[in-house]
């Protein structure tokens, strides 16, 4: 059992939009032998789209709108990758994904350096002490000086860095990377779609000059001397504790530097780590199975109207057809067809171990945050649902398709990327999201996956807050006074829809005994 668990590596790839996450994921799949030809996120010449962008809307726009899970074997390791959306309108999906992984690879665009979304994601990693590896991408374009980039990373991300590979120039003069971790130089032929042969060179001999020219050879030796002087030896324990980030340079699109990253990653990255439940700390090598649902996706297969709940296994071994206890419903459920993923392609799995992510068929039994065990009562918490910042009324645009629309809204809300409120005053349905793009995705998916037409109507609201109070009289008084701004969420909890910051502040000062919550977990 320990052997199975120690060969697992579960990690998320996160970044600002357009830094190259999905391109990097494609190349990792290429090395893992899962695909023979890498797809492109945006390209007219390459007809194959990226494996992890499988929704129609992702292929059309060239962005990821949902986290994809992919697993493959590499040498003796079993790797689970989660490719997350970079766009901030889907940040909630990414934050939740970070609760289910043991380590993170942050992709940085070499020309732009650290961007706003990267800072937010780093904060989430820091809160959980998640180990981070940084991959500086797009070195085949004109970029900032590598030493400046390292200073910027330390300064903005507030973490010590240690380069484990080093680029030979950048832009059109980019020749490859020197692998500091294994102390050898690998020169590549750029190839966007297949793995190429490498040339191995000893940098202390004149063979180096014959490959990259005198000027670049001198520069590389000088850079490496400087690095050894400035940065201490790489300390794997500091990385595991989340205090030190190894840095790799390369170009995901042209396959430079990706294999150095992967080879070093499988060696130093943590195997599954203990997970904190409300009741106690759960160790991955315990005999009994425990797991939690961190994401639900509707319509992975458009031919079957089914939802899949993504379950992260925290301890023990999961086996097919064994009954497990669903804590919230307090009933035993057995799963006849659990699956493992390759983005949209799925295969049935007979057993899975701590660290793995499996898909469980869901017909409405699961919610995000649900726990499964072999009988022990445990609750895994810390899967936040944030207060939405944008609101619109959703109206049916085709009276003949009322049922399809209701089912579509229900399943898409289960995914947890948007929230549904029913106004108690006029019984109209309001959808709240974190970003504008969500509305377009919901409308597109309702039409294409459920054949239901909806239209949006404006509603002027500032924030949704969940309310509770120990003083029933005051709560009743508040709800009467704010009658037309009161709504219920899908759990039937009371939500106050404030139409401005001023109104919210006045409500908080007038009603001292009412608690206003801005995340749904309290």
- The pLDDT of residue 171: 76
Which pLDDT score, from 0 to 100, does residue 193 have? 55
Residues of the chain with pLDDT under 50: 38-48, 54, 343, 522
What is the reported pTM? Answer: 0.79
The domains found in the chain, sorted by start residue, are 2-268 (3.40.50.300), 275-373 (3.40.50.300), 390-517 (3.30.70.3280)
Query: What local confidence, expressed as pLDDT, does residue 206 receive?
Result: 74
b or e along 79-112 (b: 16 or more beta carbons within 10 Å of the residue's beta carbon)? bbbbbbbbbbbbbbbbbbbbbbbbbbbbbbbbee
Q: Nearest 10 degrees: CA dihedral of 127, 343, 248, 99?
A: 10
Please name the residue ranges forming H helices in 32-101: 56-61, 91-98
Q: What is the pLDDT of residue 46?
A: 40
Q: Locate 231 and state its tokens.
A: 């940065």
CA gap 390, 368 in Å, rounded: 22
- Short-list 277, 246, 310, CA closest to 103: 246
pLDDT per residue as tens digits for the range 372-393: 999 888 888 766 666 788 899 9
Q: Tell me the H-state helices in 415-497.
A: 436-450, 472-481
d(CA 109, CA 478): 50
Classify 112 as helix, strand or coil: coil
In this prediction, residue 182 carries a pLDDT of: 75
């Amino acid at each position: 059992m320990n052997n199975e668990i120690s060969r697992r590596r579960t990690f998320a790839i996160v970044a600002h939009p357009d830094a190259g996450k999905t391109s990097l994921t494609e190349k990792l799949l290429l090395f893992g032998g899962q695909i023979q030809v890498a797809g492109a996120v945006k390209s007219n010449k390459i007809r194959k789209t990226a494996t992890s962008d499988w929704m129609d809307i992702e292929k059309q726009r060239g962005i990821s709108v949902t986290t994809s899970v992919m697993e493959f074997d590499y040498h003796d390791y079993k790797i689970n990758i989660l490719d997350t959306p970079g766009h901030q309108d889907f940040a909630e999906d990414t934050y939740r994904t970070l609760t289910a992984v043991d380590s993170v690879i942050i992709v940085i665009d070499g020309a732009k350096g650290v961007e706003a979304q990267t800072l937010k994601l780093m904060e989430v990693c820091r809160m959980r002490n998640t180990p981070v590896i940084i991959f500086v991408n797009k070195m085949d374009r004109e970029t900032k000086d590598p030493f400046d980039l390292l200073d910027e990373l330390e300064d903005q991300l507030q973490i010590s860095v240690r380069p484990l590979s080093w680029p030979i120039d950048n832009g059109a003069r980019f020749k490859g990377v020197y692998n500091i971790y294994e102390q050898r130089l690998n020169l590549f032929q750029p190839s966007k779609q297949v793995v190429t042969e490498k040339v191995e060179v000893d940098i202390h001999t004149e063979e180096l000059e014959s490959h990259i020219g005198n000027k670049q050879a001198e520069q590389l030796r000088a850079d490496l001397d400087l690095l050894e002087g400035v940065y201490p030896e790489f300390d794997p324990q500091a990385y595991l504790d989340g205090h030190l980030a190894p840095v790799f340079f390369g170009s995901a699109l042209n396959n430079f530097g990706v294999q150095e990253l992967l080879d070093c990653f499988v060696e130093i990255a943590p195997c599954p780590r203990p997970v904190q439940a409300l009741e106690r700390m759960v160790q991955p090598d315990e005999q009994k199975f425990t797991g939690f649902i961190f994401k639900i996706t509707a319509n992975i297969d458009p031919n079957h109207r089914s939802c899949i709940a993504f379950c992260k296994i925290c301890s023990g071994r999961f086996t097919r057809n064994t009954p497990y206890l669903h804590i919230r419903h307090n009933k035993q459920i057995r799963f006849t067809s659990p699956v493992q993923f390759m983005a949209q392609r799925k295969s049935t799995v007979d057993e899975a171990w701590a660290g793995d992510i499996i898909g469980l068929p869901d017909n409405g039994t699961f919610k995000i945050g649900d726990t499964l065990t072999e009988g022990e009562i445990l609750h895994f918490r810390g899967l936040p649902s944030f207060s939405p910042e944008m609101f619109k009324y959703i109206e049916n645009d085709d009276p003949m398709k009322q049922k399809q629309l209701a089912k579509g809204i229900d399943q898409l809300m289960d995914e947890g990327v948007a929230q549904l409120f029913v106004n108690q005053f006029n019984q109209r349905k309001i959808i709240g999201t974190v970003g504008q793009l969500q509305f377009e995705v919901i409308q597109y998916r309702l039409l294409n996956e459920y054949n239901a037409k909806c239209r949006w109507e404006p509603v002027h609201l500032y924030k949704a807050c969940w309310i509770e109070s120990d003083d029933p009289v005051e709560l009743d008084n508040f709800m009467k006074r704010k009658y037309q701004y009161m709504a219920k969420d899908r759990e039937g909890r009371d939500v106050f829809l404030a139409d401005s910051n001023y109104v919210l502040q006045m409500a908080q000062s007038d009603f001292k005994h009412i608690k206003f919550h801005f995340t749904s977990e309290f």
